[in-house]
Amino acid sequence: MKQILQNLKTGLTQLENIPVPQSGNGHLLIRTSASLISAGTERMLIDFGKAGMLEKARQQPEKVKQVIDKIRTDGLLPTVEAVQNKLGQPIPLGYCNAGFLQEISDCQLRMSDLNSGDRIVSNGPHAEIVCVPLNLCVKIPDRVSDEEAAFAVVGAIGLQGIRLAQPSIGEYFVVTGLGLIGLLTVQILLANGCKVLGIDIDSSKCALARKFGAETADLSKGEDPIDAAMAFSDGRGSDGVLITAATKSSEPVHQAAQMCRKRGRIVLTGVTGLELNRSDFYEKELSFQVSCSYGPGRYDPEYEEKGHDYPIGFVRWTERRNFEAVLDLMASGKLNVKPLISHRFSFEEALNAYDLITENKEPYLGIILKYHSKVEEIKHETGFLNKTIELKPGGESSVESHEPAAGIIGAGNFTGQVLLPALKKSGIRLKAIASAGGVSGTHLGKKFGFENSTTDADTIFNDPEINTVFITTRHNTHARFVLQGLKAGKNIFVEKPLCLNMKELNEIAEVYKSQVANHKSKILMVGFNRRFAPHIVKIKELLETVREPQSFIMTVNAGMIPSNHWTQDINIGGGRIIGEACHFIDLLRFLADSKITDHHISGLNTDTHDTVTIQLSFENSSVGTVHYFANGNKSFPKERLEIFCGGRILQLDNFRVLKGYGWKKFNKMKLWHQDKGHASGVKAFVQAIQNGEQSPIAYEEIVEVMKITIRLSE
């Protein structure tokens, strides 16, 4: 299928061939018939992409601070690479989509009144097939066309701003900025029984507002907006102002304050500067509020991703119910969007539409993209419904040799920034990469020279040419993919953790033992990369001369992650002890070179339970402590390892500087950039497959570390 993507690094807008997205639980597949270009938002993204690095930094000062912090901990070169990779990731454009329900599961049928073939409006992007959470999908009424329905999402943005302003019949309201959202806001306010004044610099938009029944102030004709607002409200001042304009200036907010009566309400729906004048608000006791997108539920993963609705008795208007309200206004004739359509383009000509808004070739307002509306109109030979697409011609089969042909499941930041550069250097055959949405997988597939991109992970396990699978997906999928890979006879590299609980660990152990018993076992390795870091290799070499038990202190200044982040969800990420602290338990197990005989954990009583101290005892009488703290400061090293043994000390900071105290032939080892051993770990894994050797990490040690980690977490 085709999808519109934006490159924030170059500013290039492209119509790309992408695999059809995978439909997950609580998500619907929708075949698009029409989508609306939100010119303001989408042009802002395009302009940002075309800006130079200095201008990008100026526009996002908070990101600059993050970059500086990363330079301090990781070094300059890794930080530059991370920034370049992040900017190079294409993002989907568009969020106003109408189409036909293509696929719905039995579970979703029970949760809703939707059926395959129903016309649906959603916040899906500009693509021939979109995958959207159920709570962001609404059935389109019969009286509303697909083109009209495509305005429902931007209409909901305006409606949410109105709800925050709480207008009542007969009140005077000003709408500053008569773009799409502004003109929709004007109509909804009029339907609410308000008197409305629209302000804009574009005469044609003012004319449209008057056609809908509003009064206007045309700034292009020199009209003063404050004088116009006072005259409009009979000199008493407006009851409220909705700012739907997009400008870097704070003037619209200042003008809104001047227009309002005492205790008036100002709601910002658009984007403006926010240098507020205290006297503007103090003297009139004005209220000012910024509206968040479509309404309650926005950016809440429980609502959007997991489909947990808010009870209507407590939250009357959610984003989904706002969509419904806008569609009802259209169906009743109280909201007319047809005059807002200035241009129509076929989806194949979408790039011409973006030329229109970026080059200002002619006036525009609502730009509709038209898609194939019927299945029979689709040319299947274009790959429209394919979940796997070819990126480049395949190479020679490596099934009969030890040479690995790799399939990657997962295409997130770790995959793109760490795993794939390491794999590329190894020279192995990169056969296929799988991602749920198809966009990130296709981008990385092209960048690193994969043969195929897919949204169906089963194709990787079923491909006889692929003998090695790398798993870098969310933690709750690891065990399932590991089991599938073992049963398919693949070598497996799974990013930590191996699994989330004892039930999963026991299932993996049972299948692995069965494979060993039948002489079908392959290499199973977890990405405990710190074992392979250059500094750890040096420490291991130094400790070989020590006969006494050792004391290890691992201090991890982990930093805070919000409780609603997926890694903190016990059912998805497993929490940070399982998801990340397992790294450090493995590291101490490796350095002690002895089985763990006892373990204890204590921590602060917080919502996230990620500020803990872990005590380990080893069979050789060594002891280890892992301080995993989320309540520290970024100026302190993120990872510090201290080892005390036989009158000597080793101290490692951030995998950059290793210092020795009391060692006769060792004083210091410093690297120019941080190296946590990712590349060396991948290299060791690939070489083990090529040479027919055992796993670089013994299977028994992986199981031991995971068992201890799970028990500590419990």
ω into residue 404 within 30 of 0, thus cis?
no
Looking at the structure, tell me whether residues 516 and 478 fall in a common domain. Answer: yes
Nearest in space to 423 (alpha carbons), one of 452, 390, 459, 450: 450
Q: Which domain holds residue 129?
A: 2-150+337-373
- From 529, 559, 585, the end of a domain falls on 529
How many domains are there within the chain?
4
- The model's pLDDT over 186-197, given as tens digits with 9 standing for 90+, comes to 999 999 999 999
The CA-to-CA distance between both ends of the chain, in Å, stands at: 45
Is residue 354 exposed (0-12), middle (13-18) or buried (19+ Cβ within 10 Å)?
A: buried
Please check whether residues 580 and 697 belong to one and the same domain. Answer: yes
Do residue 491 and residue 404 come from a single domain?
A: yes
Both tokens of 650, joined, read 């080793």
Asked if residue 560 belongs to a domain, the reply is yes
Residue 60 backbone phi and psi in degrees, to 5: -130, 70
Q: Which of 395, 392, 399, 421 is nearest to 408 (CA)?
A: 421
How many CB atoms sit inside 10 A of residue 4's CB? 25
What's the whole-number mean pLDDT along residues 679-688? 95
Q: Which CATH number do you get for residue 473?
A: 3.40.50.720
Residue 83 has pLDDT above 80, yes or no: no
Packing angle, helices 180-191 and 319-332, rounded to 10: 70
Could you report the per-residue pLDDT of 478-493, keeping only the tens digit for each?
999 999 999 999 999 9
Assign 691 to helix, strand or coil.
coil
pTM exceeds 0.85, yes or no: yes
314 lies in some domain: no
The beta strands (E) that lie in 123-237 are given as 129-133, 137-139, 172-176, 195-200, 215-218
| pLDDT above 70 for 74 | no
Mean pLDDT of 681-705: 95
Please report whether residue 327 resides in a domain.
no
Backbone phi, psi, residue 255, to 5°: -65, -40
Residues 511 and 446 in one domain: yes
Q: Which residues contact 297 (CB under 8 A, 6 or more apart)?
A: 135, 303, 304, 310, 315, 318, 319, 320
Quick one: 558 and 688 in the same domain?
A: yes
In a domain, 132, yes or no: yes
Are 436 and 442 spatial neighbours (Cβ–Cβ below 8 Å)? no
pLDDT, tens digit (0-9, with 9 covering 90-100), for 282-337: 999 999 999 999 999 999 989 998 889 999 999 999 999 999 999 999 999 999 99
pLDDT of residue 609: 87
Average pLDDT rounded to a whole number, residues 75-88: 73
- Mean per-residue pLDDT, 501-520: 90
Task: Judge whether 385 lies within some domain.
Answer: no
Range among 42-56, 160-174, 357-371, 418-432 with highest mean pLDDT value: 160-174
Strand partners, 241: 174, 266
Indicate whether 102 belongs to any domain: yes
Q: Same domain, yes or no, for 632 and 544?
A: yes
Shared domain for 106 and 8, answered yes or no, is yes
Shared domain check, 350 and 230: no
User: How sure is the predictor about 574, in pLDDT bands with cuts at 50, 70 and 90?
Assistant: very high
Does 491 fall in a domain? Answer: yes
Predicted confidence (pLDDT) per residue in 609-634, tens digit: 899 999 999 999 999 999 999 999 98
**pLDDT tens digit sequence for 402-433:** 678 999 999 999 999 999 999 988 889 999 99
Question: For position 557, what pLDDT does the model report?
Answer: 96
Is residue 350 in some structural domain?
Answer: yes
CB 458 within 8 A of CB 481: no
- Interval 442-455 mean pLDDT: 95
DSSP category for residue 581: I
Tell me, yes or no, whether 57 and 195 share the same domain: no
